[in-house]
Structure 1
Amino acid sequence: MLAATHAGFATSLYLGGAAVFEYPTDPVSWSLAVFFSFMPDIDIPTSKVGRPLFFLSVPLEKRFGHRTITHSVIGVAILTALATPLYFFYPLCFWSIVGGYWSHIQIDMANIRGVDLFWPSPIRVVMPGKMKYRLEVGSKAEMIVLCALLVFCVGLYPLSGLGLRGGLHQLLKDFDIAYDEFVEVQGLNWYTLELKAIDNLTLEHIKCNCPVLGAWQSGLIIEHNGKARSVGKSQIQHNLYPVDAVLIQGEPLRVISQRVDMKGRSLRWLVENLKANHGYYLLGELYVDADKVVNVSQIEAYHPVIWGGDKVRLHYAKADDLRDYLNLTAIRGEVIVQFWFRPGDRAVELSFNGDGGEIKTPGVLEGMF
């Protein structure tokens, strides 16, 4: 086959592998795959790799001939052994080298002569079996195959960045795929939900790109117009019913948390004494005096503050969400103050003074000052 055909086939396998196995593509590993797709032809002194490496190509051609040892399982095994140290440091480069080399052998099977895959056995491997369907080097048929490979690579390129599942997600815009994907990767990056939904209470149609905060009851918690709301298929448990949903990955996310013991303290104490130069979310579960009366009406299925009987649950609540609950005093329980950071955000400055004295800044925060 021509060098361009080998490069095109190696590229299609590289990008196809990225789409199926969802490994990240990069210029180095991609270049290695293309370069090593030429390497089996080192047994020809006039080939692209044979000319600069003539001190290897000349003796290889004289001793073994073309498409023998370098196009065999033995040649693949030798290359794999030489490249093995890369596997422990740069596994993608290792697989690019081995995969690129194998791609050359695989497409050469479609040549009229085939390859001596099991050399020194005289058995030749061809694909397809009928000669009339195999390709002659430089023929019109090979040009058609080359053009098809180029078109295939152009189509695979965007899919290689999304992955097969991501590509299906973009195509189907299915909420269940978005939910499953977020559950697997939450906490690693900022995520946005490109959403079309219906408000289960007002039947309002909503279209937004909303930050995703977390998962809840087989659904997602998003921030819409400054308020946390749940999205999911259950009209009883969620605020919004998704019509179309696509999960979009954003910048790397760094989360730092501070635990606060709330025994004998009110939510008003928490809000008034927590001072920070960065926005935060409150999570936790508090047991309170069941005789306390709170003047709230929780019609919505999800709310950042869920109160029932002797228990108050905070789930991605902000200080403003606590205004109807400020007088509730905890018998026991704790609140986690969670800070979310983007790359380049300045260090958090946290102070916490109250009845019990100053709460020490955790070591993970001290290193940031």
Structure 2
Amino acid sequence: MLLDFCSVNATTHAVFGVAALAGAGAALGVEPSPYAYPAAVAAAWLPDIDNPRSRLGNGLSRLKSPVLNAATRPLSWALRTISFVLARTVGHRTLTHSLLGGALFALLVSPLRELLPGLWLALVAGYASHIFADALNTRGVPLLWPVGRPFRLLPGGVRSGGAAELAIAAGTAVVAGYLLSVAHPEIPGLL
């Protein structure tokens, strides 16, 4: 059951990451490159690295291909180490789910802004989408961590893994699909 819960949550964050990048691209009048969308998904999973059971927190070593497992092992170990340290020092849904965490992440990836602006936009939009999505749920997010109470966008919030989360994710996917079809008119023709 826990695996199903994590999969739904990871999928919801992936959808929000793609939607955030597509929306940011539309708002800024830029057309994100196709490579930017997987980066937005990875960045949308990144705030949960403080949870060792999350998509990135448990590393990448459980891939189906032994060759990919060997190639990603160093990154997998690094992700697990970071997850362990964050979980033990600040805990889940603290620093990485706050404005401070978002600002630190944006600062960390800021060299990409001039080099690869599309990738930078994807990473920042994806990370921000995670905080936004978690602000919709019952626990909210500690925007002003380490002080203040959790912030929720909806009174009471939406239960993670429930039908309401699925409905919100589906609605977000529709909006993302529309924005993608506007930004990349060739996509509907490919389907």
TM-score by length of 1: 0.41
Instruction: State the match for 1:148 in structure 2.
Output: 171
Equivalent positions of 1:275-314 (< 5 A) are none
From 101, 104, 128, the counterpart of 1:78: 104
Instruction: Classify 1:73/1:20 alpha carbon distance in 2 versus 1 (closer, same or farther; 3 Å).
Output: closer
Say if 2:140 and 2:152, in contact at 8 Å, map to a contact too.
Answer: yes
Instruction: Classify 1:20/1:74 alpha carbon distance in 2 versus 1 (closer, same or farther; 3 Å).
Output: closer
Equivalent positions of 1:28-47 (< 5 A) are 28-47=35-54
Spell out, residue by residue over 1:35-62, the C-alpha distance to the aligned partner (whole angstroms, 9 max, x if none).
Answer: 1000000000011100111111112112
CA apart distance, 1:78: 1.6
CA apart distance, 1:109: 0.4
Of the two structures, which has the highest relative contact order with CA contacts closer than 8 Å and spacing of 6 or more? 2
Instruction: State the match for 2:3 in structure 1.
Output: none
Equivalent positions of 1:1-369 (< 5 A) are 2-52=9-59, 53-128=79-154, 130-131=155-156, 134-161=157-184
TM-score by length of 2: 0.78
CA apart distance, 1:3: 0.8
Q: Distance in 1 between matches of 2:107 and 2:15?
A: 26
Say if 1:16 and 1:160, in contact at 8 Å, map to a contact too.
Answer: no
Task: Give unmatched runs, 5+ long, in structure 2.
Answer: 1-7, 60-78, 186-191
CA apart distance, 1:66: 1.0
Count residues with an aligned counterpart: 159
Say if 2:44 and 2:130, in contact at 8 Å, map to a contact too.
Answer: yes
Say if 1:14 and 1:96, in contact at 8 Å, map to a contact too.
Answer: yes
Q: Distance in 1 between matches of 2:124 and 2:39?
A: 9
Q: Distance in 2 between matches of 1:74 and 1:68?
A: 10
Spell out, residue by residue over 1:250-300, the C-alpha distance to the aligned partner (whole angstroms, 9 max, x if none).
Answer: xxxxxxxxxxxxxxxxxxxxxxxxxxxxxxxxxxxxxxxxxxxxxxxxxxx
CA apart distance, 1:161: 3.4
Q: Distance in 2 between matches of 1:155 and 1:146?
A: 14
Q: Which has the larger radius of gyration?
A: 1
For 1:69, give the aligned amino acid. L
Q: Distance in 1 between matches of 2:164 and 2:94?
A: 24
For 1:20, give the aligned amino acid. A
Percent identity of equivalent pairs: 33
CA apart distance, 1:79: 1.1
- Of 88-97 and 112-121, the range deviating more from structure 2: 88-97
CA apart distance, 1:102: 0.8
Aligned-partner SS, 1:14 = helix
Higher helix share: 2
Q: Distance in 2 between matches of 1:25 and 1:70?
A: 25
Q: What RMSD over aligned residues (CA atoms) do the two structures have, in Å? A: 1.5
Q: Distance in 1 between matches of 2:178 and 2:110?
A: 32
Say if 1:50 and 1:57, in contact at 8 Å, map to a contact too.
Answer: yes
Q: Distance in 2 between matches of 1:22 and 1:122?
A: 36
Q: Distance in 2 between matches of 1:77 and 1:152?
A: 27
Instruction: State the match for 1:255 in structure 2.
Output: none
Higher strand share: 1
Aligned-partner SS, 1:26 = coil
- Of 66-75 and 34-43, the range deviating more from structure 2: 66-75
Say if 2:98 and 2:141, in contact at 8 Å, map to a contact too.
Answer: yes
Task: Give unmatched runs, 5+ long, in structure 1.
Answer: 163-369
Q: Distance in 1 between matches of 2:152 and 2:46?
A: 20
